[in-house]
Each structure stands twice: as structure tokens, then as C-alpha cells.
Amino acid sequence: MSEPQTPNWVRDAVFYQIFPDRFARSGRVPKPSCLKSWGSPPTAHGYQGGDLLGVAERLDYLADLGVNAVYFTPVFRSASNHRYHTHDYLQVDPMLGGTGALRSLLDRAHDRSIRVVLDGVFNHASRGFFQFHDILENGEDSAYCDWFHVEGFPLTAYHPEDPPNYGSWWGLPALPKFRTETPAVREFLWGVARHWIDFGIDGWRLDVPQEIDDDAFWREFRRRVKEGNPEAYIVGEIWGDGSRWLKGDMFDAVMNYIFTKACIAFFIGERIDRRHLEPEPLRDARPADALQFADAIERMLGLYHPNVNAVLMNLLGSHDTARFRTLAGGDASSLRLATLFQMTFPGAPCIYYGDEIGMQGGHEPDSRGAFPWDEAEWDLDLHADIRRAVRLRHDLPVLRRGSFRRLHAEGSVYGFLRQLNDILAVVLLNAGGGAEEIDVDLGVAVPDGVAFADRLAPGSWQTEQGRLSRVRLGPRSGRVLLGTSGR
């Protein structure tokens, strides 16, 4: 097979993940009267009334942060606040503003060169999905019995004392699993994927795609999506090694939870609040020193082709995890350091909405709180630091497209080199509580006297025999030193 071809634009993307019910209310979308108040404690049920026009009104905020791509959790019609229980795949939920609101959002986002990726829930639907509802109403006489894994009649869809007598995701009766070997189901799902690509979205994030254990399904999915937009981004929710799907014939990338786990281990380290980590697939993360972290990162990079590594969605948290700062016991320096690494490392960084202002929350649904638009509630110093790290990534192509090589991994200090032509960026991160002073062997031929200036704070060092000597790192801090090979 030829090398994987991945969307070029993703190499320059900084993603921002939005949970639509909780990001922003526009005041322009009619709402039911029984909404929860904005900012009330997040719960598994109940709506707080965010909508897509609210997001459209906040695009300038996102652009100022440096975001140029947005990933939305599901937006299609559903009877759940997270909308993973899809009722209608061809209609945007009216509470979010309907399909017209998505049209407006896409147009306004694209005018600002912001891409939009939607969440595709193609493994399972909901009890309200028409074809499943038809089976509920008509039993064995339904025209759609082969759309789901039906084991008996009548369906026990609303019987808490009885398990569902049909295939469902994790045994949850609200989530009947599609029978994807049925030709009509395959065509329906492929048609949904292509419909929204033709509408103008820039890609799909795929929910639990490993549950559709059918490579032919995903190969045809890719073919249809790429036929509509060759640069569409297809990223799967895979929590571990995604090699099976990343050979160039199925997905472009995965949500890189291997990256997330490594960042928890090193940047949070001994601060990990295991109460919030325990409910999650990342629960076995253990504190790591710089050498262990470096080895974990290189094992991760070794899994995939460089064209895939360049577009992996590198995240520190999501709607399915506790927030990174909460895992760190509230420590902001852990999030600062991890974000600096995220913004200087190969791949597409993804910020979970509100992390940049210090939002906290444990395992879902606690991590799905409403965004507080009153700046008095923000950690403004954190926001400024994250904005600066994002801007640095945009300002320096070497951080987006340069090669990667380890330079230093000892004790609490980790360092690596990014190189693009003659431009060199040395990234040094000190996860320890004390100051450190290190010598850095660049490992490339550089004449003596070439200056490397810190792009984050005052400071400059000159090369001597291919080294930078006595580089001081404050506690829980990082440096990005920019220079040239001098050739």
C-alpha cells in the first residue's frame, strides 16, 4: 500500500472542542421553557440551552485565541443533552438552532478560515430513531427489522427490570446498535456522511468506530467522504493503538489519548488526583520522569507513518475525561506546561472548551459545565499563557511542520528539537519543583556563535561546539529557543 495521504490543512490546525449545549446561548433560538439555568451543575440529563448561533457569535473569541478549527460533539436531533442518542441524522437539533444555524455558523467560520468538524455517531442510534421506532410500533411486521440486532418481540426498550432484547451499545437500551451488514443501513450511513460533507463541513470525528468491526465499511466510508472533499479530515475515537485504521485506506487520524495519558503522567505526575482518573480508560496512568515520558512519546510516534503523526488530534482532555486541571488537583502549572508541549509537538493540538480560562470538572458529566462568559470568573493569567503558546505555534512553521528529535530526558527536564530547513527550535520543559540548569547538545552541525533566543521570555544563548550551555529553567517552566543551523 502507498503511504497514507492526510489533509494538508490539519498540519496547521489548532482545534477547539465544543459541547454545544454548554458553550454559548445566542438569545436568537427559541427554547423550551424547562431549561436548567446557565452554569448550574452539569448533570447526565437536562439542557442548559447553548446553540450554534451562540458559537457563531463567539467566533471572534476563538480566532483571538488562535483557534482555526472546531470539533463539535453531536449536533443532530436527539433527546439527550450530549446528543449521542441520534433521532434524525439529517436535521440539526432545533434546540441548537436547526440546520439553518449550522449553515450560518459554517459560512461565518469559513469566512474567518475556521474549519468545522462534526461528530458522527454511526455505530448506534436511539429509541427515537424512525426505523427503530417503527419496530417498536409494528414488531415483527416492521419493514426495518434487519436494521438492528433484534433478538425477540416485543422489544424491551423501556423495561428497566429487563435487559434489552436487541443489540445495544454497552447494553444500554437507549442506544440500539445498527446492523451495519444490512445493505440499506450501510447506504444510509454512507449517505449521511456524504450529505454533510456536501453541505460544507470539513470532516468527521467518528464515535466508537471500533464497534463497527468491518474494514470494508470504513474503506467505503472514506471513499465517499473523500470523493466529496479530498481534504476532509476523518478522525476516529480510538483510545489506544490506532494502527489498524491508519494505513491510508480508512481514517486520517485518531484522537490521541496515548498522548493524553503521557501528559498526565509527566506534567501532572505526583499531583494526579486519582479519584477523578479512576473512572476513565486512562486510569492506569502513573507518574513518570522525563526519560519515561520521552520513551512513551517515541513509542507513540513509532506506531504511525509521519503523515499520520502530523495530523493526530493531540488532546489533554475531552467530554469523556475529567478536565486536565482537575486531574492536577487544581494546579494551573500542569496545564500550562502540557499546553506548551502540545503546541510545540507534531500533530494537531485540540483545546477542550474552557480549559484556557481555568474551567474545572471531574469525570463526565462534571467536565461538561457551561462556559462562564463573565471574565471575572476566568483565570486571566492562564488564558494569556495559553493564547501565547497557540500564537507561538502559528508564528513558527517549524513547530507545525518541522522534524522531531529528542535532545534531553533526565530527571524532571525534557527537551526536543524541531527543524525545518535551516530553522531550529529547541523546546525545553521542566516539570520539577526546583530550578534546573542544563547543557543541550543540538545533535546537528551548527557553527559556533549562533544565537538562540527564547521566544517566551528574555534570554539568549550562543552555540559552542554544537551545544547550548548552562540553560537555566525555572521551576515548572519551559523555554522555546529559536535559532538557525547557520548554513
| Active site positions, annotated | 207, 237
- The residues near 237 (Cβ < 8 Å, ≥ 6 apart) are 205, 206, 207, 208, 209, 254, 255
User: Which residues, other chains included, contact 241 with Cβ-Cβ below 8 Å and sequence gap of 6+?
Assistant: 258, 303
In the numeric block, which cell numbers belong to residue 107? 459560512
N-to-C CA span, the chain: 37
Give the residue from 412, 404, 406 showing the smallest Cα distance to 290: 412
Q: Count the neighbouring beta carbons within 10 Å of the beta carbon of residue 372.
A: 15
